[in-house]
A and B are shown apart, each in its own frame.
Chain A
Amino acid sequence: MSIKQAQLAMVIDSSMCIDCKGCMASCKIANDSPEGQWRNWVKHSVPDFTARFPKTHFQPGGCMHCDNPTCVQACPTGATYKDKKDGTVHIDSSLCIGCGNCIPACPYDARFRNILTKKADKCNFCAERREQGLLPACVDTCPTKARVFGDINDPESEASRLLAKNAGRLVRVVNAKTDTKPNMIYLGETAPLNWPVEAKMPTAMAALTSVVNPLVRTVVGLSGIGVAVMLVRQLIAGSDSEDDVHDESGTDSQNKGGDA
């Protein structure tokens, strides 16, 4: 009985992206993202103007819905979890305490603390739209259809077919130290590649695991102390520290000095 579970994923041919930002506008409206906060982005490579014909590569992205999500490991309450049914990394906002641990734990800067809800926020592949039989907002609206969405474990899906057709030229954008096995799969020579960072696991969680005897690290203990520590952390840190705002200028400055 090895029926493969679904794994929703996005397969992106970034060479087709024209950086029109239709995906960002569509996502923002579909998900009511607050002013200045975005669930997705378009990064770009840095052109080499000494080249005969300089070029720029535009690379759309968002939460990578990783197979090995460090954000899940960093979440003290279990609010962030990998959905067993469809493979998405999901935030159960009723469980999120807004501690912000998951934000640096994501190598992709895909998470932010929503300035209105005070909770972790990120792409959920538009679960609400999918319930209505619609595609994720970014995929639906994309002019060049650079983003293709589907269950890559279903060989009949368009995403699967695209993967199979491009089997030799798939790129997973990862940080060497933290390969979270992302389900945002790029085709061909996508760029930039140098932007994922090492996942930073919360110090409080790390301290907890080293102090507490593994034998008594029961579910109750871990979660209860974890929550207490994180709630304190949130009170100290405030709810809208600069680190939590995923904005465009941030992604741009991060790219400076990147590959051409």
Chain B
Amino acid sequence: MKLSRRDFFKASGLIAAAAAGSVPVLGGLEPGLAHAGTSSGEWSNAYSVCDMCFNKCGCIARIQDGVVKKLDPNPKFIKSRGMLCARGNAGVSQLYDPDRLKHPLLRKGARGEGKWQRIPWDEALDMMAAKMQDIRKKYTSCGHLFSAGADLQSQFVGRFAEVYGSYNVTSHESLCLLSGSRAFLDTFGEVPFADVLNSKYIIMAGANRFEALVTPDSIDLMTAMQKGTKLVVLDPRYTKTAALANEWHPIRPGTDMAFMLALAHVIINEKLYNETWIQDKTYGIEQFREHVQKYDPRFAAEECGIPAEDIVRIARELAAAAPAAMIYPGRRTSDYKNSTQIRRSFAIVNAILGNWDQPGGLLAAREVGLKGVPFDAPWYDDNPDDRVDAHKVPMMFEHDGSFVLTRDAVLSGKPYPIKGWFVYKTNPLGTAPNRAKTIEMANAMEFMTVVDVAMSDTAWMADLVLPAPSYLERQDPASGLQGSAACACVVQRDAVVPALYESRPVFDILKSVAGKLELGEYFDFTIEEYRKKQLRGLPNAATALADDGVYYNPSKVYGIYKDRVYKTLSKKIELYNKRYEGMGVDPMPVYSPPSKVPKNRFRMVVGRSAMVTQTSSQNNAVLHQLTGPNTLWLNTASAKNLGIHPGDTVEVASSVGRGELKVEITDGIREDTVYMLSGFGPLSPQLSLIFGEGASMSAVLQEGYDEICGNAALHETIVSVTRKVAS
């Protein structure tokens, strides 16, 4: 018998001498328990729904000895295709982040000075109610602003604002996607889902699905490409989506509309569309045909920097693949002053491809089956007529408002003063353009309350900071989700572990304050009861949610509009928008070139990676190890012109602010463009991992806004880049 070294060691007493570490010898001999630190306690499993970004993917928490050890994908969760991304995995690090807020804090020094006093919850809630009552008396209920993110309890902030009597609610959305929603709504009558999985040809412009993950689109894009779907990416930057695409065209930023109108020019003039479909389903083809004549591929090539032959070829390929072809609608549309019209051009090309409600095209919303829980808000006679940001742009979304315009109104005190601010699960100090101005806005407040998991920059500016539990520690209402053709589903959350520290869900906070303001009747329910009401039309949902962590509604996917009219004025898909015509807005997208970038200056573009959700994941220990601080992408030739070398620290400065960060010199960005990742360079030192690291996009970006819907216009920012001499 041959005795290996291993067998010998096992047999000999040398093992004790060799095992100098702390691992018990016997434990180490057991097969499968090879690594230190694993206790032998059994795992239990609990369903949850991820909240590390907005996608709400299904996950399973593996719990051992009362500790969440691991989050795994829920294989039955079709919307996320049975996966969990890096951020989803890192949810554990959010839960156990030592920097979490632990108890209510009251500001003692000046705003942003960082002097806090720990106070008991009773005192905090009494104070919040008293201040809200105060502000209401002095400035009417509309003198209080409410801002919320997009998690499952955010809806209660809206409910509270409404019963308290304030119209002034801003969501995260006006810093994000409203221009795109506006454009597609005003073309099709609703905001579609993209059937990426079944599409044969996808043009992706102003979207970056292999980094800015959207489920199931990101995953479906790869699956579809494996089956032969062609992906054409237009992006000034070599993103991972560009890197994996069939074609990457480094388009001049802000010229997408020229490209889209040229595609339409080719498709219409070469009659590459389905005539019957256009006649039956669309409105304004004649006007549009006329409109696109001046936007030929040669014109677009001049504007976009993409050769005319390519534009013609792509138009023909796209039309040949139609209707299983699309201009991907994208999501992050907060880029230009005319973003709604830019995205209208995307929507219209989709319309002439005839892909609406068809496999591989754009899909209408499906029936999820969740019911609302209505209430009658009280009437307040002394309130002003409208939102504080009203009438600045023609087509704002009432429930989302415009953060940029609201901030201007707060600072000017016109049309009326806003002196109270409640913020939950959103961080405008870190995500809204012109941070200096948002700081001024906070300074203009008499009382500001922030409910969050961590001391975000916005919390750092508050008077009262209240600790919230993470999504793994609380019960949340049900929510309806749709993804591609994959599903229309219902999700909900239960706590997988008890809430840590003194954290309390925003629902409990608002319910308590409502009681103190004699509005208790509007919060006279538990989450459990609320969910029952939401699920009243779905008798099988509760069991499915318990068994699988998700309920699917087997509703129709395609052909929803077979015998239905479109929710537009013409009752058809509007190439020519009738409502815009009546409002003095261009009924069809008219191209205007973006502002010129002066020599040695750059247009700044920002973005998201698969490991960063803006500022909400910035202090996450695992994700921080994966990303490090952000860098400024600068083209090789531009860097040479400026005498900037690899590894240099640079200052990037706009008319509103500046930041310092390391440069990343690359051929993967145009010479006239720089890029940095969102989510770094915070003000709050209580984000200890990331404080002092990288640069904040909100400090540098200028505050342009979409002239139709008031969405922020982040890419209107022109910056200088200077080498910092090492000190």
Q: Which of B5, B24, B226 contacts A76 (CB 8 A)?
A: B5
Q: A55-B243, A118-B21, A224-B14 are in contact. Are A31 and B83 (CB under 8 A)?
A: no
- A18 near B83 with CB under 8 A, answer no
Residues of chain B with a CB closer than 8 A to A16's CB: 222, 226
Q: A124-B34, A127-B34 are in contact. Are A219 and B84 (CB under 8 A)?
A: no
- B21 near A223 with CB under 8 A, answer no
Q: A78-B9, A223-B8 are in contact. Are A25 and B90 (CB under 8 A)?
A: yes
Name the distance in Å between B19's Cβ and chain A's nearest Cβ: 5
- A18 near B210 with CB under 8 A, answer yes
In the complex, whether B191 has a CB less than 8 A from a CB of chain A is: no
Q: Which of B3, B38, B69, B84 contacts A26 (CB 8 A)?
A: B84
Residues of chain A with a CB closer than 8 A to B641's CB: none
- B4 near A78 with CB under 8 A, answer yes
- A144 near B222 with CB under 8 A, answer yes
Can you list 25 pairs linking A and B with CB atoms under 8 Å apart? A18-B244, A21-B86, A21-B611, A22-B89, A25-B89, A25-B622, A26-B70, A28-B622, A29-B92, A32-B38, A35-B621, A35-B625, A36-B625, A56-B243, A90-B34, A92-B6, A93-B23, A95-B6, A95-B15, A95-B18, A117-B21, A143-B85, A143-B213, A226-B5, A248-B626
Mask: chain A, 23-47; 1 = CB below 8 Å from B; 0 = not: 0111011111001100000000001
A130–B43 alpha-carbon span in the complex (Å): 13
A21–B213 alpha-carbon span in the complex (Å): 12
Instruction: Name 4 extra pairs, CB < 8 A, besides A117-B23, A140-B73.
Output: A76-B5, A77-B9, A127-B31, A137-B72
Residues of chain A with a CB closer than 8 A to B394's CB: none
Measured CB to CB, the nearest residue on chain A to B71 is A29
Residues of chain B with a CB closer than 8 A to A20's CB: 85-86, 210-211, 213, 610-611
- B29 near A92 with CB under 8 A, answer yes
Residues of chain B with a CB closer than 8 A to A248's CB: 626
Q: Which of A32, A76, A91, A141 contacts B34 (CB 8 A)?
A: A91
In the complex, whether A210 has a CB less than 8 A from a CB of chain B is: no
Query: What's the tally of chain B residues with a CB closer than 8 Å to chain A?
Result: 73
Within 8 A of B (CB), among A162-212: none
- A141 near B610 with CB under 8 A, answer no
- B238 near A78 with CB under 8 A, answer no
Mask: chain B, 10-29; 1 = CB below 8 Å from A; 0 = not: 10101101111111110111
A186–B384 alpha-carbon span in the complex (Å): 66
Mask: chain A, 118-162; 1 = CB below 8 Å from B; 0 = not: 110100100110111010010011111100000000000000000
Name the distance in Å between A99's Cβ and chain B's nearest Cβ: 10
In the complex, whether B377 has a CB less than 8 A from a CB of chain A is: no
Residues of chain B with a CB closer than 8 A to A15's CB: 226
Query: What's the tally of chain A residues with a CB closer than 8 Å to chain B?
Result: 66
Q: Which of B27, B37, B72 contacts A94 (CB 8 A)?
A: B27
Name the distance in Å between B539's Cβ and chain A's nearest Cβ: 32
Within 8 A of B (CB), among A51-104: 53-56, 58, 75-79, 81, 90-98
- A144 near B86 with CB under 8 A, answer no
Name the distance in Å between A48's Cβ and chain B's nearest Cβ: 9
Residues of chain B with a CB closer than 8 A to A53's CB: 245-248
A137–B625 alpha-carbon span in the complex (Å): 18
In the complex, whether A220 has a CB less than 8 A from a CB of chain B is: yes
The 3 residue pairs across chains A and B that have the minimum distance between CB atoms: A94-B28, A78-B6, A78-B5
Residues of chain B with a CB closer than 8 A to A119's CB: 21, 23, 36
- A223 near B622 with CB under 8 A, answer no
Residues of chain A with a CB closer than 8 A to B9's CB: 77-79, 95, 223
Most buried by A among B25, B218, B222, B667: B222
Residues of chain A with a CB closer than 8 A to B219's CB: 143-144
Q: Which of B10, B33, B84 contacts A22 (CB 8 A)?
A: B84
Name the distance in Å between A59's Cβ and chain B's nearest Cβ: 13
- B218 near A18 with CB under 8 A, answer yes
Mask: chain A, 219-242; 1 = CB below 8 Å from B; 0 = not: 110111011000000000000000
In the complex, whether A244 has a CB less than 8 A from a CB of chain B is: no
Name the distance in Å between B219's Cβ and chain A's nearest Cβ: 5
Measured CB to CB, the nearest residue on chain A to B233 is A53
Name the distance in Å between B231's Cβ and chain A's nearest Cβ: 11
Residues of chain B with a CB closer than 8 A to A130's CB: 32
- B86 near A223 with CB under 8 A, answer no
- B222 near A18 with CB under 8 A, answer yes
Q: A47-B238, A95-B9 are in contact. Are A128 and B33 (CB under 8 A)?
A: yes
Mask: chain B, 73-101; 1 = CB below 8 Å from A; 0 = not: 10000000101111111101100000000
Name the distance in Å between A136's Cβ and chain B's nearest Cβ: 11
- B248 near A223 with CB under 8 A, answer no
In the complex, whether B223 has a CB less than 8 A from a CB of chain A is: yes
- B240 near A56 with CB under 8 A, answer yes
Residues of chain B with a CB closer than 8 A to A18's CB: 210-211, 218, 222, 240, 244, 610
Residues of chain A with a CB closer than 8 A to B22's CB: 117
In the complex, whether B35 has a CB less than 8 A from a CB of chain A is: yes
In the complex, whether B623 has a CB less than 8 A from a CB of chain A is: yes
In the complex, whether B290 has a CB less than 8 A from a CB of chain A is: no
- A31 near B89 with CB under 8 A, answer no
A126–B19 alpha-carbon span in the complex (Å): 23
Measured CB to CB, the nearest residue on chain A to B87 is A25
Measured CB to CB, the nearest residue on chain A to B221 is A18
In the complex, whether B7 has a CB less than 8 A from a CB of chain A is: yes
Most buried by B among A93, A121, A137: A93
A131–B38 alpha-carbon span in the complex (Å): 13
- A222 near B222 with CB under 8 A, answer no
A56–B238 alpha-carbon span in the complex (Å): 10
Measured CB to CB, the nearest residue on chain B to A224 is B14
Q: Which of A93, A131, A144, A220 contacts B8 (CB 8 A)?
A: A220
A18–B225 alpha-carbon span in the complex (Å): 12
Name the distance in Å between A34's Cβ and chain B's nearest Cβ: 10
A105–B671 alpha-carbon span in the complex (Å): 44
Q: A20-B86, A54-B243 are in contact. Are A137 and B70 (CB under 8 A)?
A: yes
Measured CB to CB, the nearest residue on chain A to B25 is A94
A238–B711 alpha-carbon span in the complex (Å): 56
In the complex, whether B668 has a CB less than 8 A from a CB of chain A is: yes
A143–B57 alpha-carbon span in the complex (Å): 11
A245–B15 alpha-carbon span in the complex (Å): 26
Mask: chain B, 416-453; 1 = CB below 8 Å from A; 0 = not: 00000000000000000000000000000000000000
Residues of chain B with a CB closer than 8 A to A132's CB: 43
A130–B18 alpha-carbon span in the complex (Å): 28
- B218 near A143 with CB under 8 A, answer yes
A75–B247 alpha-carbon span in the complex (Å): 48
Residues of chain A with a CB closer than 8 A to B213's CB: 20, 143
Measured CB to CB, the nearest residue on chain B to A38 is B625
Q: A22-B89, A25-B90, A78-B6 are in contact. Are A144 and B70 (CB under 8 A)?
A: no
Residues of chain A with a CB closer than 8 A to B43's CB: 132
Q: Which of B28, B73, B81, B667 contacts A95 (CB 8 A)?
A: B28
Residues of chain B with a CB closer than 8 A to A134's CB: 72
Residues of chain B with a CB closer than 8 A to A219's CB: 3-5, 8
Q: A20-B213, A29-B92, A142-B83 are in contact. Are A55 and B8 (CB under 8 A)?
A: no
- A94 near B19 with CB under 8 A, answer yes
A95–B34 alpha-carbon span in the complex (Å): 10
